[in-house]
Structure 1
């Protein structure tokens, strides 16, 4: 875990040939303050619980996807959902299982509102920041649980050309290429591409084939220009495509406490195309800083899933999703050493979603095609002021006003597959408007000994919306949800920066919670589930006893329950634990780098253990996964421009459930990934 106030000491993780991207944050002496991005003031008088994962940790721990940050970041859980069709994210017990994430996701400032766009390739990533707790005051919609900021390298600060190929168990093939070139002090460009193939890890007994094979590729380009010392312009564009088998779900036998074999009759898949482009213009002088972020994202996906997960043709669903999103944000902030710091901004977004869903019951000879057009637009204004009251004591107050307009044109039919005759089932044309003020209050104190203490109160908000699939008219929409987050914490530095520690406790009051449940033949439906809360603590320790040796320990505890949730007369979940929320997250990592090492220029040995649990999979708390741990390790050997890696994951071959759910026909779960290992060779020019 890497916190903004501790970045200087922890930045020692960076290898000499991979300097920290200074466009992401400004690294200064710990006696001063660290700026993490353009939404933080120069003196950073507002504390935020944040974990930073830099490129060194990503490489040492062989982290290739955001999902693998589960437990590495305290109280962070991103289950392996079975495909990239949806990527649930839970921070401190707050999250969303289906559409409409509770966590904001940004790549170089480009927002990703559709959760199927979260699971991205992490090759050549400079750093990842995870901000825990509501961040709606500055970031807006979908930030009720926190924010994930992903940063790529800036060729004006980092120059390198790398070619990498790898091979692992299950015929896992990877190929990556990247180039970061600075043509002159004012202009640079980057080009990166990657390809990944895996035969699949899980076997479908009925089809006698793997259920989860995947082929995917991604390309990135970037242009960086500093026409003057005050102006900075950046254009980034990413195109990615994945074609995967998915949903290796199997029935869970409650009586025998056992997960059965994967056994369904139709191959299921998910194909996804994403194009994301962002243009950033930044102006800075001695008094103010101005930032403009323009974004466009295009998503097209096709999902086909045997939703009954049996050898019968009860329910086979096809889902075509098409999204176009435009957003524009202007941010103006102070840029001086005054005791008063401020930041203000204006945000606008428009999104058009066209979706076609057809549930086929081939054995019955019927289908239910559904068209849903869902345009959205939003406008927001925000302001935050911070004041240094006395020496290290400062206070912050912020507020954001959000307005969102949503529309749904919904048409559902019943189709006879034999005759082609159809009849209408459900039609509605609805609009909804959501308005909300989101305040934030923070008090922090930084001592002369570099100890920091803080307390904060933050309002969280997530707008309502329309369900993508509904059977009855009363299921077509859901209301906004709200939360209040109360938090106190401390950050400390010892032994001249070689030992850092941080600790915080939190309490979240969550009202009108948007709960998700699964119905066979319909899919996931969202409804408001009254009242819940989440409380817990987080601890992170980093220790560098000697040069080249680093230890990290991260622990999170969350206790999240329904305070009031009566789904029906027979289903009362009041007092139950919230599903998809690990009670404990634990990560212990260590790495040792020796340079030179005999005939080699560098040898790095790293190992890590991550543990999660207990996790309940559904509101009834019948099926759960006890606490489990997996062990990973990696050895890197470098000679000149060549590095040879050997890695292994889940070395103990721990068996666990990575994801589970309850539908109207029973309980299902997906096994966790078994023991895997592989090797790769990279050349850095």
Structure 2
């Protein structure tokens, strides 16, 4: 059945190519609601200090990201209200990315929060790029977005735009050194190659010693090394056509996963016989053509991503004894094809957007686990079991989407959206076991399964401008996440998990003059989720599967404020509160957990800061990031929870002509906390400790 993926893929490419030819042979499109600054560069319009105030959107520029210490995807928690990344610093592998209570499972479910970089969507959350290079804008769109984007996004979208070339050559080189021997170099260059062509290229290299000390092997356990790069060539043969060829790569050579025992007095100390390592190679190629017509624009985008994790090895017992370890090799190949049609922007007329999208991914895994089995009536002392699981999981999605913004009056706009999607998933899985005593162990029966489903997503909203300084918004949406398979079980009934259906509604207000000193938004949301997907261990086994909780309700509020009390002082404040609970669900033992909090969803996220321009090129910033209590199991066990915590950071900058020097500090009060807890091995991933560093950059 897997050969049919390639057949379908190439048939779809041919169809899109034919459609493209019918619409003029060459395609190009302009981003909606943007401002063209030069022949290539497209920049978003911002309000106060890089944060556009909208109800469900949070837009942040590169300067604001630097002030908050956001350098990789794992740092995005709190960039928008109720956005949180649960991770063990593995460059994405096994991360849970949540927004408004909707999240992916650790390994096998589709993303709830989609990452899109320059119109190129990501694959699984594990394969999202870690490094964030040359960002022009980062926009977080909360709530279901499947009627606006090709890739299905039931929880929201992180939409990143990188810097495009302008009419002049420009570049930036930055070097950095800090605590734990952290050293980093970033360089970005862009500009014209001719009056019709341009380039943009960036590269980043980072290296540091680990935060966790392996006392048994007398070395730092979780050293980090990475190299990332991104480049694009732009060609504009005429004023209506633009072509873009893009490439992005990332190479990671990290040591152990940042894990320590929950029983340890020092979360930054382990005594492991196996130090572990994580090696990742990622390569993404993309091509985009966009063309303007009198009626609007057409955009065609194609991409291919290869992500290879080989290996990820972990000492599961975190002790000096060879009791348990795992070694995972996993690869993901993802293809995307999208053709999008958009009307020409204009006031007092309907704006529409429609498109076709195709996604095809294949994940190949080889997971080895070795562990000692406690002695029993039929188990001798020193019995060591070795299990190897080999699997291939395929996922295919074909979707059509459309939305329209239709003015009802001069002050009211009706927003309607529709998405039709066909999903197919398949799995081929086998498992073999052995032991050090040579006892025969029959292999699991081979599983070869497939399934498909059709879904409809809808959205309807109303925006009303009460005045120039006050707008009201209301929106309701039906969305879904597709069904799939768990590879870490041989039970056919447990291997399959069903789709997740979401009904989400929101209402709020945006206030403040466009160029005023104070502005903000307040919003409330309510989501009812049927078939909520989450992962857990099967009792009396080593199986780990995705299950569907019958019903979950997630409700909460979001607030964003920007304030300039006096000249040269800027304050920003973002807070989100989420109450996501099981309404109808039983844990692995069959016990009801109704009313318990859903794992991996913090009750609160907060990110706030104050920036002061001290004149003569000197500026200072102080920021605080806070996270409410989080649980990491269905029973809400106190041991497997993290209490509320806050982190304070600061930065002092001095700029003279083309040079900028910065002194920064993160987690200044040395707050200890866990950013991820694994109940299965009684371990957690401690958050980064205090770091102090300096940056020096040159811009031309």
| TM-score, with length taken from structure 1 | 0.89
Which residue of structure 2 lines up, in the alignment, with residue 628 of structure 1? Answer: 645
Task: Say if 2:281 and 2:308, in contact at 8 Å, map to a contact too.
Answer: yes
For residues 477-496 of structure 1, the aligned pairs below 5 Å read 477-494=496-513, 496=515
Secondary structure of the structure 2 residue equivalent to 1:138: coil
For residues 202-217 of structure 1, the aligned pairs below 5 Å read 202-217=212-227
Change (3 A) 1:480 1:621: same
CA distance in 1, matches of 2:69, 2:216: 34
Secondary structure of the structure 1 residue equivalent to 2:635: coil
CA distance in 1, matches of 2:467, 2:481: 39
- 2:629 aligned with 1:614: yes
For residues 167-182 of structure 1, the aligned pairs below 5 Å read 167-182=177-192
Correspondent of 1:326 among 307, 330, 335: 335
Residues 529-585 of structure 1: CA deviation (Å, up to 9, x unaligned): 111111010110011234432110111111111001113455321110112112121
**Deviation at residue 112 of structure 1 after TM alignment:** 1.0
Secondary structure of the structure 2 residue equivalent to 1:513: strand
Task: Say if 1:500 and 1:542, in contact at 8 Å, map to a contact too.
Answer: yes
Change (3 A) 1:651 1:469: same
Secondary structure of the structure 2 residue equivalent to 1:116: helix
Which residue of structure 2 lines up, in the alignment, with residue 673 of structure 1? Answer: 688
- 2:478 aligned with 1:441: no
CA distance in 1, matches of 2:69, 2:675: 19
| TM-score, with length taken from structure 2 | 0.87
- 2:546 aligned with 1:526: yes
Correspondent of 1:232 among 231, 242, 245: 242
Task: Say if 1:275 and 1:298, in contact at 8 Å, map to a contact too.
Answer: yes
For residues 242-321 of structure 1, the aligned pairs below 5 Å read 242-253=252-263, 261-302=269-310, 303-321=312-330
Correspondent of 2:657 among 640, 658, 664: 640
Residues 191-228 of structure 1: CA deviation (Å, up to 9, x unaligned): 21111111110123333322211110011111112222
CA distance in 1, matches of 2:90, 2:647: 21
Secondary structure of the structure 1 residue equivalent to 2:63: helix
Residues 224-257 of structure 1: CA deviation (Å, up to 9, x unaligned): 122221112212111111111233323334xx99
Secondary structure of the structure 2 residue equivalent to 1:290: strand
Which residue of structure 2 lines up, in the alignment, with residue 73 of structure 1? Answer: 80
Correspondent of 1:452 among 471, 478, 482: 471
Residues 411-434 of structure 1: CA deviation (Å, up to 9, x unaligned): 111235687987422311111102
**Deviation at residue 495 of structure 1 after TM alignment:** 8.2
CA distance in 2, matches of 1:258, 1:49: 40
Task: Say if 2:174 and 2:186, in contact at 8 Å, map to a contact too.
Answer: yes
**Deviation at residue 321 of structure 1 after TM alignment:** 1.0
CA distance in 1, matches of 2:614, 2:361: 51
Which residue of structure 1 lines up, in the alignment, with residue 24 of structure 2? Answer: none
Change (3 A) 1:517 1:309: farther
Which residue of structure 2 lines up, in the alignment, with residue 466 of structure 1? Answer: 485
Query: Structure 1 stretch 288-297 or stretch 156-165: which is displaced more?
Result: 156-165
Change (3 A) 1:140 1:304: same
**Deviation at residue 23 of structure 1 after TM alignment:** 5.3
Which residue of structure 2 lines up, in the alignment, with residue 406 of structure 1? Answer: 425
Query: Structure 1 stretch 423-432 or stretch 399-408: which is displaced more?
Result: 423-432
CA distance in 1, matches of 2:594, 2:46: 49
Task: Say if 1:471 and 1:522, in contact at 8 Å, map to a contact too.
Answer: no
CA distance in 2, matches of 1:545, 1:282: 43
Task: Say if 1:174 and 1:197, in contact at 8 Å, map to a contact too.
Answer: yes
Correspondent of 2:67 among 60, 67, 81: 60
Task: Say if 1:359 and 1:522, in contact at 8 Å, map to a contact too.
Answer: no
Correspondent of 2:610 among 590, 608, 613: 590
Task: Say if 1:320 and 1:355, in contact at 8 Å, map to a contact too.
Answer: yes
- 2:176 aligned with 1:161: no
Change (3 A) 1:353 1:483: same
Change (3 A) 1:521 1:120: farther
CA distance in 2, matches of 1:20, 1:558: 42
CA distance in 1, matches of 2:39, 2:470: 26
CA distance in 1, matches of 2:47, 2:73: 30
Residues 318-347 of structure 1: CA deviation (Å, up to 9, x unaligned): 111112111110011211435222211111
**Deviation at residue 661 of structure 1 after TM alignment:** 2.7
Secondary structure of the structure 2 residue equivalent to 1:195: strand
CA distance in 1, matches of 2:541, 2:244: 46
CA distance in 2, matches of 1:312, 1:467: 31
Correspondent of 1:373 among 373, 388, 392: 392
Which residue of structure 1 lines up, in the alignment, with residue 10 of structure 2? Answer: none
Task: Say if 2:40 and 2:165, in contact at 8 Å, map to a contact too.
Answer: no
Secondary structure of the structure 1 residue equivalent to 2:80: coil
Secondary structure of the structure 2 residue equivalent to 1:120: coil
Task: Say if 1:301 and 1:322, in contact at 8 Å, map to a contact too.
Answer: yes
CA distance in 2, matches of 1:24, 1:626: 42
Change (3 A) 1:281 1:411: same
CA distance in 1, matches of 2:244, 2:193: 15
5+ long unaligned stretches in structure 1 = 1-6, 12-18, 31-35, 37-46
**Deviation at residue 310 of structure 1 after TM alignment:** 3.8
- 2:589 aligned with 1:579: no
Correspondent of 2:528 among 509, 528, 531: 509
CA distance in 2, matches of 1:22, 1:548: 32
Change (3 A) 1:236 1:483: same
**Deviation at residue 313 of structure 1 after TM alignment:** 3.2
CA distance in 2, matches of 1:240, 1:203: 26
CA distance in 2, matches of 1:274, 1:436: 31
**Deviation at residue 264 of structure 1 after TM alignment:** 3.2
CA distance in 2, matches of 1:50, 1:343: 18
Secondary structure of the structure 2 residue equivalent to 1:57: helix
Secondary structure of the structure 1 residue equivalent to 2:395: strand
Task: Say if 1:369 and 1:414, in contact at 8 Å, map to a contact too.
Answer: yes
CA distance in 2, matches of 1:312, 1:502: 55
CA distance in 1, matches of 2:493, 2:499: 16
Change (3 A) 1:469 1:67: same
Task: Say if 1:226 and 1:233, in contact at 8 Å, map to a contact too.
Answer: yes
Secondary structure of the structure 1 residue equivalent to 2:148: helix
RMSD, aligned CA: 2.8
Change (3 A) 1:568 1:121: closer
